[in-house]
Structure 1
């Protein structure tokens, strides 16, 4: 397990993390229509095309390729977009579910002629440590593992203005 992917190690910190979105509140707060999963995935694909074209015209050009992380589990659309655009794919599920999704992503890569090894595989783990699930995740091909812990429930009242 590595703390940084080979796409980012030693060459900068910026990673564009993007997905179709699942939280309606976030869409509402920014004034976007939440729409349907299909419409959000269509918008994601259009956005990725636009971002790729725009990055090619930046002046000055970036000092390195900006890695793109695409998050999501959809096998027909999200993983197809990840095969086309992602340097890192972030998926969700247990090791068995992730192994299946890795194979789906690999198939999409084969369809477009891309080496699937060019895409780092990432996931998150809640309330469990590397000793609990790390080996199983690595065995199915996941290399970037985000450990998530619950934060304490503090009463903010004493520090409010």
Structure 2
């Protein structure tokens, strides 16, 4: 195994719900100014909590706008729902945002899970297994289309896969991901990392090539060290509207800076 020591990075998942777009744009800019390494949104059509019919904005048109309104932080979706866009189209969208942002896009993707989005927008929800099979079919198509586009992406666009399914999702991570995002706690991360390493062995890949990303909350001095010991290097705080409080993000940025020196 190749030893790869990654510096700690901090991200913000800026959830585009219950807020006017001006507040979302301002918060993305504030997060970048405070020092966030990545600003994510998410790929839903309705709020996930609070008023279910509350204000909400679409993911990828927003990423195109962020590519112009930010200048340093990486941007991406945590995560894009594979079901909502043809894989070739998604690859072209990603390439375009990559160019607009001058190489700052992370292509986050997952199999999808929020049934209301599917029902209201006319997508077939099906089963979790079928959606994962669709993702497995889509990822090589995305990779193939990215290789054909003219102009090509500015660089190899990093692919982030979110999810912790042990038989299918983590196998896809081993084959395709540059970043794996885990939604669990430290104990869950430790167990699933062992499974991911086995999938990597099965496909002949060094697991050290995959950056470990985790969603976090609370005091970084308490939550951060064990996650870091397990190999996590990207720590992402989530925040929802209408009033985006970035105090927790700033705490994690301060913790990052104390470690990175």
Structural mapping, 1:56-95, within 5 Å: 56-95=147-186
Determine which of 236, 240, 243 is the counterpart of 1:146.
Answer: 236
The 1:12/1:129 distance shift into structure 2, 3 A limit, reads: farther
1:135 aligns with 2:225: yes
Pairing 1:1-161 to 2, within 5 Å after superposition: 1-3=8-10, 4=37, 12-126=103-217, 128-149=218-239, 151=241
Distance in 1 (alpha carbons) for counterparts of 2:234 and 2:243: 28
1:158 aligned partner: none
Tell me the alpha carbon deviations over residues 39-88 of structure 1, each in whole angstroms, 9 at most, x when there is no partner. 00011111111101111111111110011000001000000001001000
TM-fit CA distance, 1:140: 1.1
**C-alpha RMSD over aligned residues:** 2.0
TM-score by length of 2: 0.53
* Bigger relative contact order, structure 1 or 2 (CA pairs below 8 A, ≥6 apart): 2
SS in 1 for 2:9: coil
Deviations 1:104-124, CA, capped at 9 Å, x for gaps:
111111111111111001110
Q: Which runs of 5+ in 2 are unaligned?
A: 1-7, 11-36, 39-73, 75-101, 245-261
User: Taking structure 1 as the reference length, what is the TM-score of the superposition?
Assistant: 0.85
User: 4+ residue runs of structure 1 moved beyond 6 angstroms?
Assistant: none
Q: Could you tell me how far 1:153 is from its partner in structure 2?
A: 6.9
1:144 counterpart SS class = strand
1:151 and 1:129 mapped to 2: Cα distance?
A: 21
State the distance in 1 between where 2:113 and 2:237 align. 21
Structure with more of its chain in helix, by fraction: 2
| Whole-angstrom CA distance in 1 between matches of 2:231 and 2:109 | 21
Q: Which runs of 5+ in 1 are unaligned?
A: 155-161
Matched length: 149
**Equivalent pair of 1:122/1:142 in contact (CA under 8 Å):** yes
Secondary structure, aligned partner of 2:214: strand
Q: Secondary structure at the match of 1:143?
A: strand
